[in-house]
């Protein structure tokens, strides 16, 4: 598997076959591999947050409905806000940790064409992903450092030696090393 920095180096050097990558939008090719800015990172985080809120709301409505059926009560009592926030926080940590450790991108980052990489251009490992997600949940204002930083890095990036880069390439795992199968 090629690290992102190796891929970027090959593209920048003009290696044949890589400059015509059709999976990257033509207008975005100039930004491929560069560190992402504040707005694209913020939109990705908002998409992730809204998806977790939606999951928690559906979970709460489902729990209230089941409780209504089991206890035969009139009216639906939705779980307390504190429990919802706690469940949402834990879910956000789990989602970010898993996504960043496995693919380097969450749902919001996938939509925005972003990926988290470590200092050498590879995906971050599980401990770093877990620490980074805790850091982002506890200290979300650290993202504002991207506006000031000449390298477009948040406080989380500086402390954990990570970067968020534009990466529209979606690689599929290679199953076999032989030639592609003829599907005709």
Q: What are the tens digits of pLDDT across the range 113-155?
A: 999 999 888 889 999 999 999 999 999 999 999 999 998 899 9
- Quick check: helix, strand or coil at residue 178? coil
Burial of 183 (0-12, 13-18, 19+ CB in 10 A): exposed
Q: Output the pTM of the full model.
A: 0.76
Encoding tokens for residue 164?
């968020």
Residue 28's alpha-carbon distances to 7, 87, 124, 166, in angstroms, are 16, 37, 24, 9
Contact 107, 51 (CB under 8 A): yes
């Amino acid at each position: 598997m090629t690290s992102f920095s190796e891929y970027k180096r090959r593209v920048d050097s003009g290696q044949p076959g890589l400059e015509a990558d059709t999976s990257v939008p033509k207008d975005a090719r100039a930004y491929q591999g560069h560190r992402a800015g504040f707005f694209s990172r913020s939109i990705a985080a908002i998409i992730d947050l809204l998806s977790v809120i939606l999951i928690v709301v559906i979970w709460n409505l489902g729990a209230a409905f089941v409780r209504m059926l089991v206890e035969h009560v009139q009216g639906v009592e939705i779980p307390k806000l504190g429990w919802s926030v706690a469940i949402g926080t834990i879910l956000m940590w789990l989602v970010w940790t898993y996504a960043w450790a496995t693919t380097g991108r969450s749902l919001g980052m996938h939509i925005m064409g972003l990926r988290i990489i470590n200092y050498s251009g590879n995906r971050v490992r599980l401990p770093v992903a877990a620490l980074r997600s805790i850091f982002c949940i506890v200290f979300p204002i650290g993202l504002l450092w991207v506006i000031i930083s000449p390298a477009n890095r948040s406080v989380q990036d500086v402390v954990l030696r990570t970067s968020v880069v534009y990466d529209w390439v979606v690689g599929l795992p290679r199953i076999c090393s032989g030639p592609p199968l003829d599907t005709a």
